[in-house]
């Protein structure tokens, strides 16, 4: 590729693997919130923990408990009418008692219907066992933000 092409983006420019994608509306999660999620998931084990996520200025700042379980693979019941109508609520968090933080079909339906930033945390509920997803069930990266 010529220097001109590189400077002005002419020609067929392949997207670099390590090129930063544009930042999402929600791009981070506060470390203490993630710690709380780990602790809550452990406490609920072997049951699922479910809640909604509140974000401010692109960073998840709070776990908001809601009536009923959000998501859930074996006993899904989602009270949409009880979910907060609140623009700061950006999505859901739930735990998977098991090794896989992969959304089930039921999870994908929840992701698609409510919010745009979702987290699943699997056993053993550590900083290494959670994955964030967008509303389409595609994994997205959330930075851990120290306050």
For residues 63-82, which are near Zn ion according to CB under 5 A? 71, 73
Edge-to-edge order in the sheet of strand 130-133:
139-140, 130-133, 118-122, 89-96, 50-56, 59-64, 28-30, 143-145
Smallest gap from Cβ 109 to Zn ion, in A, equals 11
Smallest gap from Cβ 94 to Zn ion, in A, equals 5
Q: With binding defined as CB under 5 A, does residue 107 bind Zn ion?
A: yes
Q: With binding defined as CB under 5 A, does residue 121 bind Zn ion?
A: no
Smallest gap from Cβ 133 to Zn ion, in A, equals 10
Q: With binding defined as CB under 5 A, does residue 115 bind Zn ion?
A: no
- According to the 3-state scheme, what is the secondary structure of 83-146? CCCCCCEEEEEEEECCCCCCCCHHHHHHHHHCCCCEEEEECCCCCCCEEEECCCCCEECCEEEC
- How many residues bind Zn ion (CB under 5 A)? The answer is 4
Nearer CB in complex with Zn ion: 88/126: 126
Of 73, 74, 70, residue with least CA distance to 89? 70
Footprint on this chain of Zn ion (rule: CB under 5 A):
71, 73, 104, 107
């Amino acid at each position: 590729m010529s220097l001109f092409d590189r400077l002005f983006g002419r020609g067929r420019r392949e997207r670099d693997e390590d090129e930063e994608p544009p930042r999402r509306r929600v791009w981070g999660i506060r470390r203490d919130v993630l710690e709380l999620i780990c602790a809550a998931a452990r406490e609920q084990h072997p049951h699922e923990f479910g809640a909604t996520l509140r974000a401010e200025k692109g960073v998840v700042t709070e776990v908001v408990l809601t009536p009923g379980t959000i998501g859930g693979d074996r006993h899904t019941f989602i009270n949409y009418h009880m979910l907060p109508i609140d623009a700061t609520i950006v999505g859901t968090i739930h735990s998977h008692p098991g090794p896989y933080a992969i959304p089930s079909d039921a999870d994908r339906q929840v992701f698609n219907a409510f919010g745009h930033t979702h987290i699943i945390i699997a056993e053993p509920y550590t900083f290494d066992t959670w994955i964030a997803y967008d509303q389409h069930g595609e994994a997205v990266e959330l930075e851990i933000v120290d306050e």
